[in-house]
Structure 1
Amino acid sequence: MQIDVLVDVKTTIGEGPVWDVQEQRLYWIDVVGGRVYRCTADGREVRTWEMPDTIGSMALRRNGGAIVALGSGFHFLDFDTGETQLIVNPEPDKPHNRLNDGKVDARGRFIVGSMDTREGFADGTLFRIDPDLSVHTLDAGFAISNGPCWSPDGSTFYFSDTFSGEIWAYDYDLESGTIANRRTFTKAGFTETTTTDGSTVDAEGYLWNAQVYAGKLCRFAPDGSLDRVIEMPVKKVTSVNFGGPDMDTLFVTSMAKPPLPRYPGDNVMRGSLFAVRGLGVQGLPEPRFGG
């Protein structure tokens, strides 16, 4: 196994890596910096798009461009012009909230959770925006929504509230996009030195989670048992996604500055985008938003 710094751009809060199978490019974001980044699998041809607001997540669209979850709601992003277009703000009555982590299901729906930026207030909601641009509430009562992803067959949806220190599993109905039967998948714990952050599921159905502030990547078996732990060279790892020509490189984002001063600092590699190779595991392509 080999861990390399792929791109050193010192993202304040790097997040949301998304590998584009069609164009063979990696996208990732800086939440606080309000930027979308793109590069090749080997870290070349870095391009940046400036957002008009904070950004919690993004997904590529089938018709080109992207859908982005900004602090002010869901927007379309045109990669050619760099312009964003508001679709809808699902929480206009919650000035302290912003949209956070999100992923697309196999039917092209974008599932995104919101969070209270003051942290610690369980006022976040899990939303689903459909290809027809209608927005639906799936669940609520979260402090920091994080880590949405699915089992390879799409029947299990994984999700976490960073402040809970747990990753949950739901039954997922692919036809309707609804969830049911929430239960604890695994308990990672919550302290000021470790908790759950972004997740992805590999081709074998194992879930990979970034343990932020602990500097660890954890691989969990489908039954929730811990299978493997990888120690990263920085503590504030934030999210993971497989990509590369053979879908066997694990891309890992990190943060250069914690959101609150009580969280630990880090070394000179903080905020870098990392590539972990030689894991012997492949990932699955991320679906595109259907709208």
Structure 2
Amino acid sequence: MRLRATPASASPAEHGEGPIWDAARSELVWVDITAGQVRRGRVEGDDVVDVAAHRGGDTVGFAVPAAAGGWLLGAGAGVSRLTEDGEAHVLVELTDEGGSESEGGTRMNDGACDRAGRFFGGTMAFDERTGGGTLYRLDLDGTVRTALDGLTVSNGIGWSPDDRTMYLSDSGAASVWAFDYDLDSGAMTDRRVLLDFSEDPDGVADGLTVDDEGCLWTALWGGAQVRRYSPAGELLAVVDVDAQNTTSCAFSGDLLVISTSVHGMSDEARAAQPDAGKLFTVRTGVTGPGAHPYRGPLGALSQV
């Protein structure tokens, strides 16, 4: 199946990423990484229109709703809270991360919460050096632990509808991995390659989402498309997007919302892709869940 997405009305981003459906607020939330912004929009038919934009930090890799109010952010090299009135507060700086771009530091890049309310956030080095990224898990007691290290560009995260499988993409490794997942403990085991993009001419896996039928939708950075795969890795559908750098996607009902970026593109490429940086939408015929909220404390967090 081949579909084509259309650009939405919401104003474009420099480095749009991480759309989620915030069901409690009936809003589409996404980020502009390099602008350090959290963006909020309203879905009107097949369109997304702007509601608000908030400053979240020097960089903001992703946002998830918080059950206690506001949003939890992967911002800079740590975790912050964004309140309902748009004030951002750092909750923890990760001690083995940080540093500026010029110092070869790292930043949070993508993340999500599981059904229990645990927060997973991954990092990448500004210079995208191999092994410079880490996946962290923020548990319901407010402690941050390393879930997986040795990553390069830790990216899209999702879970199967039965919560028994967790998916993680590493754009640097050009792979999407599947893990056995224990919802009671948050443990990830038995890592295996589900999708290998190392020989794919179209691009590498970026952000992803999982629909209600258990199929993965992954954006292809450099590929101007989003692909749908079965849990066994069979290609089922392709969504064409008039923007080279598709970064992630999320469902609002059966509407797939796709984020895109102009980060790193030449002036000529930007001119050739006037809608790059915008959100795009397409009706898919299948539905997907909203974002699970973080259900832990919003006071000071600690790293162990």
Q: TM-score range by the shorter chain?
A: over 0.9
Distance 1:201 1:235, change over 3 A: same
Residue 163 of structure 1 aligns to a residue whose secondary structure is: coil
Paired AA for residue 274 in structure 2: V
1:51 positional shift: 2.1
Instruction: Say yes or no: does 1:67 pair with 2:69.
Output: no
Contact 2:77 2:98 in 1 (8 A): no
Q: Please give the alpha-carbon distance, in whole angstroms, between the structure 1 residues aligned to 2:181 and 2:90.
A: 28
Q: CA RMSD in A?
A: 1.9
1:2 positional shift: 5.8
Paired AA for residue 19 in structure 2: P
Residue 98 of structure 1 corresponds to which residue in structure 2?
107
Contact 1:8 1:271 in 2 (8 A): no
Residue 274 of structure 2 corresponds to which residue in structure 1?
268
Counterparts of 1:145-156 in structure 2, within 5 Å, are 145-156=154-165
Residue 127 of structure 1 corresponds to which residue in structure 2?
136
Paired AA for residue 56 in structure 2: M
Residue 86 of structure 1 corresponds to which residue in structure 2?
90
1:257 positional shift: 2.4
Instruction: Say yes or no: does 1:219 pair with 2:240.
Output: no
Residue 3 of structure 1 corresponds to which residue in structure 2?
5
Q: Which 4+ residue blocks in structure 1 deviate beyond 3 angstroms?
A: 91-94, 190-193
Q: Please give the alpha-carbon distance, in whole angstroms, between the structure 1 residues aligned to 2:79 and 2:287.
A: 31
Counterparts of 1:100-115 in structure 2, within 5 Å, are 100-115=109-124
Superimposed CA distance per residue, residues 87-109 of structure 1 (whole angstroms, 9 cap, x where no aligned partner) = 11123554211111000001000
Match of 2:33 among 27, 31, 38: 31
Instruction: Say yes or no: does 1:240 pair with 2:249.
Output: yes
Which region of structure 1 is more displaced relative to structure 2, 150-159 or 186-195? 186-195
Residue 287 of structure 2 aligns to a residue whose secondary structure is: coil
Paired AA for residue 146 in structure 1: N
Contact 2:261 2:277 in 1 (8 A): yes
Q: Please give the alpha-carbon distance, in whole angstroms, between the structure 1 residues aligned to 2:286 and 2:245.
A: 23
Which region of structure 1 is more displaced relative to structure 2, 67-76 or 37-46? 37-46
Task: Give aligned-pair identity as a percent.
Answer: 34
Paired AA for residue 73 in structure 1: G
Superimposed CA distance per residue, residues 177-224 of structure 1 (whole angstroms, 9 cap, x where no aligned partner) = 010110001112367851110000000000000011110111010111
Instruction: Say yes or no: does 1:204 pair with 2:209.
Output: no
Q: Please give the alpha-carbon distance, in whole angstroms, between the structure 2 residues aligned to 1:233 and 1:212.
A: 13
Residue 172 of structure 2 aligns to a residue whose secondary structure is: helix
Paired AA for residue 294 in structure 2: F
Q: Please give the alpha-carbon distance, in whole angstroms, between the structure 1 residues aligned to 2:117 and 2:277.
A: 30
- TM-score scaled to structure 2, two decimals? 0.88
Paired AA for residue 93 in structure 2: N
1:121 positional shift: 2.9
Residue 300 of structure 2 corresponds to which residue in structure 1?
none
Contact 1:10 1:256 in 2 (8 A): no
Match of 1:249 among 255, 279, 282: 255
1:269 positional shift: 0.2
Distance 1:192 1:35, change over 3 A: farther
Residue 301 of structure 2 corresponds to which residue in structure 1?
none
Contact 1:113 1:126 in 2 (8 A): yes
Distance 1:66 1:190, change over 3 A: farther
